[in-house]
Structure 1
Amino acid sequence: MKHLFTLLGSVILTLTSYAQEAKTVDKEKLFDLYQTQRYADAAQYLKGIYGEDVNDFKILSQMGYCFLMAGNNVEAEKFYSKAYTLQPKNLSILFSLGSINTKRGNTEKAKLYYGEIVAIDSNNFSVYKLLANLYRIPTDSLKLFYLLKANKINPAEGDVAVDLAGIYTTKQAYEKAYQILDIASKADSDNLILQKEKLPIANQLKRYTEVIAAGEKLLKDGDDAGVLKDVAKAYYYTKKYQKAIDLFKLLEKVAMQNEATLYYTALSYRALKNYQQAANYTKKTIEEAISPNTPSYYALLGLVYEENNQLSQANSAYKKGLQFNAAPNLYYRLAVFYDTKLKQSGNALKYYNLYLKSKPSVTDDKAELKFVKDRVAQLNLAD
């Protein structure tokens, strides 16, 4: 009886194996689906033939690939996971599972899969690059570790060079950052991203001649705000002040100026003894440095002090805000403050009138306008 069951089992296995082999795929149809990038149709076609209870590594990998390319990460992971149980050290499967989990935000699982690849192939550039990208914070020590590993294996790869140089720049290790970008840019002389990334670092290292030569070449392909700024600064430091001004003004034309560019423009005019323009650009620098919201911040600070009965500090905060901008809400707060807290009707009337002259919004400040007009009339009668 025992031998009978053994023989029956053998026959069933043979029939099952034969049945699987009998499932034939129309290779021409599948190739056409691949060619036209209809991966979802290809996945469903294969699933229709083989079903879900597949135990063949090649078929599982193929189905996982089709679902992955179709954007169906749930189904892709299901088939790749089955393939993983059959061949847990297959690099292609590990990369696919790592990629799927990265896309789905499961970074810890992705790290585990990529970590298995490192254990199998410690000189795999791609896995170190992928691992580095999983660490979002630039200052993370593991991000630096993986970038260093990747860069050591392939120092010519641009993306890793840029990321690694960025970390060194943050640490103010400019010479290291420069060397990394220099090697990569020499290996890929047409990579404009590498050349642009190198300019501000070269400026930090006072390689001004290099910045000007490389930057002017880049500008022939079109104006770039970052390049314009770096080349202009290099011109300033080499005392070519008019050239610096000309480039800084190009930034103004496209509204890309900032506090630093305006400051250097002012310095350049001062060096040329054009004191009128130097003064104008110094004022522009100050205006650029001040947030348009600063008066509102002082209004809030004054209100907090007022509510805490710190009247002297409240008065100072409101008036400090007026130094940045004569905003209607600051005049209003000061008027009410003098009227209700300090009981100084003369000063209250002064600030109520200044509020009306500051042209508050007739729609947004409708209630305040009515109150102020009524209160001014009352105070005038009292006088």
Structure 2
Amino acid sequence: MKKLFITCLLLSFSTLLFSQISTSIDKEKLFDFYQTQRYADAATYLKSIYGEDVKDTKILTQIGYCFLMAGNNVEAEKYYSIAYATQPQNLPILFSLASINAKRGNNEKAKNYYSEIVKIDSNNFNVYKLLANLYNEKDSMKLVYLLKANKINPLEGDVAEDLADVHSVYQEYEKAYQVLDIAIKADSENLVLQRAKLPIANQLKKYNEVISSGERLLRDLIDAAVIKDVAKAYYFTKQYQNAINLFKTLEVLSMQNEATLYYTALSYRALKNFPKSSIYTKKTIDEAISPNTSSYYALLGLVYQENNQFSLAAAAFKKGLTFRPNPTIYYRLAKLYDTKFKQTKTALSYYNKYLKSKPSLKDEKEEIQYTKDRIAQLKPTD
């Protein structure tokens, strides 16, 4: 039945198409190109029939469509542009040109074409939706176009979600909530909208709603964002153990982050479990600090050293060690105290720490040998 429907649809399309083009076309051949989705072959065939100097708008758009479906945006734009010059208010042509330019990253040109559509049809939902997609969330024009699209069709889920996101960026949580609420009432099984609503409901302190809706969602899927929102709602309703259980689920899935660890620490603290609270506070700190921080301080220290600012260099190196043991820093501190500060005892200490930090035998072969030789030279004799 499905194949029959598709065949009938193609036959109807081809009937409409072939009623508009020359009888010199081999209709069966062209129909076969469409049916097998060989759009590049269809475009080449049409060009072979009509040549390069085509003036008829219907033929131009047909060839442009074939190139568009074949993924050849350059040729597609060429033919649609010629058609546009003849019929500048043709909506399908304007939509095609805007789409082609959006695909190619020419957003300003795409905006111009979409804007022309708005002048012709100010109630076109699709054009406002497409225009909004060309702006980032912090651009006021994105909000303008999403509001227009949502006003025309407040039940459309994609626009509702995008508009709620923008409202949230501006911290207009009540507006975001209402937009999603209307769309969800029209499509109660839309899990995307339900998930999008949870963090907004949390912001509005609708914690019981978050728990009720979120737990339903978690029966059907494991979603880190949903778990986090429900766990936070449990925390704010003082159901600390439930919050901990959910936050630990994220740890099992290796999907924890600074915020989830922080709330876990707070939950343990509220339960007077101070040892666990301390553990998770430390985990929060570790999560918040980049693993590369010590390397950044190593670089800063090296810059100071190269500028003969040796005290600042030593301070930067030592600061780096407070984040993570770093063989490179130990080595640079050792050389700094050895060659610049002439403090043999301190230099020896850092040389030994460098060797104990297990530097790479392959990448730091010369540094390791230098360190061993220097330790032998600096080591006090009896």
TM, length-normalised to structure 1 = 0.90
Instruction: Give the whole-Å Cα distance in 1 for the aligned partners of 2:131 and 2:99.
Output: 11
Instruction: Give the whole-Å Cα distance in 1 for the aligned partners of 2:83 and 2:306.
Output: 67
> 2:5: which partner in 1?
none
**Could you give the per-residue CA deviations for residues 68-113 of structure 1, whole angstroms, max 9, x where no partner exists?**
1111112212221222222211101110011111112222221221
**Could you give the per-residue CA deviations for residues 158-186 of structure 1, whole angstroms, max 9, x where no partner exists?**
22222222222122121122112222222
Greater shift in the superposed pair: 31-40 or 224-233 = 31-40
**Could you give the per-residue CA deviations for residues 296-339 of structure 1, whole angstroms, max 9, x where no partner exists?**
11112222222333333222222222111121111111111111
Instruction: Give the whole-Å Cα distance in 1 for the aligned partners of 2:143 and 2:241.
Output: 41
Instruction: Give the whole-Å Cα distance in 1 for the aligned partners of 2:147 and 2:381.
Output: 78
Instruction: Give the whole-Å Cα distance in 2 for the aligned partners of 1:47 and 1:189.
Output: 50
**Cα offset for 1:21?**
7.8
Percent identity over the alignment?
A: 72
**Superposed, which structure 2 residues align to 1:120-135 within 5 Å?**
120-135=120-135
Instruction: Give the whole-Å Cα distance in 2 for the aligned partners of 1:83 and 1:37.
Output: 24
> 1:10: which partner in 2?
none
Query: Counterpart amino acid of 1:50?
Result: Y
> 2:90: which partner in 1?
90
Instruction: Give the whole-Å Cα distance in 1 for the aligned partners of 2:354 and 2:54.
Output: 79
> 1:157: which partner in 2?
156
Misfit runs of 4+, over 4 Å: 20-23
Q: Which runs of 5+ in 1 are unaligned?
A: 1-19
**Superposed, which structure 2 residues align to 1:218-367 within 5 Å?**
218-367=217-366
Query: Counterpart amino acid of 1:233?
Result: K
**Could you give the per-residue CA deviations for residues 42-86 of structure 1, whole angstroms, max 9, x where no partner exists?**
222222222222222222222211111111112212221222222
TM, length-normalised to structure 2 = 0.90
> Do the aligned residues in 1 keep the contact of 2:21 with 2:59 (CA within 8 Å)?
no
> Do the aligned residues in 2 keep the contact of 1:326 with 1:358 (CA within 8 Å)?
yes
> Do the aligned residues in 2 keep the contact of 1:23 with 1:50 (CA within 8 Å)?
no
**Superposed, which structure 2 residues align to 1:20-31 within 5 Å?**
23-31=23-31
> Do the aligned residues in 1 keep the contact of 2:240 with 2:268 (CA within 8 Å)?
yes
> 1:80: which partner in 2?
80
**Could you give the per-residue CA deviations for residues 276-315 of structure 1, whole angstroms, max 9, x where no partner exists?**
2111111111111111111111112222222333333222
Change (3 A) 1:21 1:247: closer
> Do the aligned residues in 2 keep the contact of 1:258 with 1:288 (CA within 8 Å)?
yes
Query: Counterpart amino acid of 2:118?
Result: V
Query: Counterpart amino acid of 2:65?
Result: Y
Secondary structure class of the residue paired with 2:220: coil
Structure number, greater radius of gyration: 1
**Cα offset for 1:35?**
2.3
CA RMSD of aligned residues (A): 1.8
Number of residue pairs the alignment of both structures matches: 363
> 1:5: which partner in 2?
none
Secondary structure class of the residue paired with 1:324: coil
> 1:174: which partner in 2?
173
> Do the aligned residues in 1 keep the contact of 2:240 with 2:271 (CA within 8 Å)?
yes
Instruction: Give the whole-Å Cα distance in 1 for the aligned partners of 2:339 and 2:175.
Output: 63
**Superposed, which structure 2 residues align to 1:9-28 within 5 Å?**
23-28=23-28
Instruction: Give the whole-Å Cα distance in 1 for the aligned partners of 2:21 and 2:254.
Output: 68
Q: Which runs of 5+ in 2 are unaligned?
A: 1-19
Secondary structure class of the residue paired with 1:110: helix
**Cα offset for 1:23?**
4.2
